Amino acid sequence: FLTHLPLAPKDPILGVTEAFQADSNPYKVNLGVGVYTDEQGKLPLLRSVALAEDQINTLKTARGYLPIEGLGRYVRQVQTLVFGENSPVLQEGRLVTVQSLGGTGGLKLGADFLRWFHPAAEVWISDPSWENHRALFEAAGFVVKSYPYYDPETHGVDFDKLIRTLEGAPRGTIVVLHACCHNPSGVDLNEAQWQAIRAVVVERGLIPFLDLAYQGFSQGTEKDAVSVRYFSELPIPVLVANSFSKSFSLYGERVGALTLICASREEAQRVQSQLKRVIRTNYSNPPTHGASIVATVLEDSNLHQLWEDELGAMRNRIRFMRQALVSCLKEAIPDQDFGFVAEQQGMFSFSGLNLAQVRRLRQDFSIYAVDSGRICIAALNEQNLERVVEALTQVIRE
Ligand code: PMP
């Protein structure tokens, strides 16, 4: 049956990294993948993480199976960080949180759960969205459609269109929302816009599925969870997938979670029992190490503060590189305004480059961006900035 198996297309983002790795140019730059690198261009090992690992290592614990839903200490910390210490839904026992294999794993558990128990719904994602959203929900068996989001003319959100489209969504539609640091555009919703979406969600009986992959990369861990907290006030089911890949620089450990907000403690118990079935039939139970690092850091007030500081330094460095990029481009191409890049949030920028320009960057300059024109600002540093600006200037000018 494999004789005529077609070759699958390369992943749009990880495919860029494969091409980057095969490039022998010593001055190559990977602006494709969504990974934070420091001012030396290196993937950081956070000090808070290293200290937590030291603690874990001295304990020399054996590695038994975790419960299906994951490490209890970790689950509690996720709930506090995402929903807030004084969260009513937390205190009322209405949250069901399960450890997942990164944010992707949280989305997939949510998708499978919804497909089992809400199979006729459509899934609506933003246009554009993280490339894997469509593929992941389609793979779970859903029809995936998109709602308008980014407006290339204004470099902002086309909010009127967005709201009008959501108002026309069939009841029960699952709406995937980027909680902060929209990927790929870097353009976020403001408070009034979140409130308006919330009102439509209630009125139309939609099911919000919030994707919180970048908590702490916009304004800080508390402020970046505001959208999640708005939705947690509603008497409707809400799903939240969160990730520590970026905020702890723990990409390879696959640490994330899925939380469902339920109407009551009793409903939460039923939901948890079914979610455990989804997990059991997929991978049985999650791995120990990443979750114990995150739990150890978040439980200890000193390590927690150190982590917040390290996360703040990552956030500030990205903001600094945005400003540096804008001012260099202003000098190089004075007749064009790139000020919007400094306004965007999180790791990414929708640069406005078209496909031909992205290809030219790759072929002539060994600078790798995603075909959509998305560039990762967190991959810029003072050593590669000049090269990137020179190359951008050439491809934009022609
Ligand atoms: N959602 C969005 C919007 C993302 O950008 C990412 C990471 N690129 C994820 C989810 C998945 O994160 P993880 O690596 O933790 O699976």
Q: Measured from the CB, is residue 245 less than 6 Å from ligand 1? A: yes
CA 195/CA 139 separation, integer angstroms? 31
- Cα(213) to centroid of ligand 1, in Å? 5
For residues 34 and 180, state if they share a domain.
Answer: no
77 and 34: one domain? Answer: no
Provide the residue range defining the domain that includes 141.
Answer: 63-299
Using CB atoms within 10 A of its CB, is residue 386 exposed (0-12), middle (13-18) or buried (19+)? exposed
ipTM above 0.95 for this complex: yes
Is there an atom of ligand 1 within 6 Å of 183 CB? yes
Of 299, 334, 355, the domain-final residue:
299
Report which ligand 1 atom has the smallest distance to the Cα of 211.
Answer: 1
Q: Is the pLDDT of residue 256 over 90?
A: yes
Q: pLDDT tier at 9 (50, 70, 90 boundaries)?
A: confident
Is the CB of residue 259 below 6 angstroms from any atom belonging to ligand 1? no
Alpha carbon 20 to its chain's center? 22
The enclosing domain of 391 has a CATH number of 3.90.1150.10
> How far is Cα 56 from Cα 73, in angstroms, rounded to an integer?
14
The verdict on residue 98 lying in a domain is yes
> What is the tens place of the pLDDT at every residue in 194-216?
999 999 999 999 999 999 999 99
Mean pLDDT of the chain, nearest integer: 96
| Entry field: residues in the chain | 398
Regarding whether 219 and 316 lie in a shared domain, the answer is no
363, exposed or middle or buried, with CB in 10 Å at 0-12, 13-18, 19+? exposed
Q: Is residue 9 part of a domain?
A: no
- Closest ligand 1 atom to the C-alpha of 251? 14
- Distance from Cα 246 to the centre of ligand 1, integer Å: 9
If asked whether residues 156 and 284 sit together in one domain, one would say yes
Residue 191 and residue 162 share a domain: yes
Residue 333 DSSP symbol: -
Tell me how many domains the chain contains.
2
Whose CA is closest to atom 2 on ligand 1? 213
Whether residues 191 and 126 share a domain: the answer is yes
Q: What is the pTM of this model?
A: 0.96
Ligand 1 centroid from CA 59, angstroms: 31
CA of 245 to the centre of ligand 1 (A): 8
Q: What is the CATH number of the domain that holds 77?
A: 3.40.640.10
Which residues are catalytic, by number? 130, 211, 246
Query: What residues contact residue 304 under an 8 Å CB cut-off, 6+ apart?
Result: 48, 297, 298
**Is the preceding peptide bond at 208 cis, omega within 30 degrees of 0?**
no
Q: Look at residue 207 and give its three-state secondary structure.
A: strand
Rounded-to-integer distance, Cα 47 and Cα 304, Å:
11
Q: Which of 278, 299, 320 is the last residue of a domain?
A: 299
Do 256 and 318 fall into the same domain? no
- Of 299, 314, 344, which marks where a domain is finished? 299
Paired sense of beta strands 29-30 and 367-368, if any = parallel
Residues 182 and 138 in one domain: yes
Do 37 and 183 lie in one domain? The reply is no
Q: What pLDDT score does 14 carry? A: 81
Model confidence pLDDT, tens digit, residues 93-147? 999 999 999 999 999 999 999 999 999 999 999 999 998 999 999 999 999 999 9
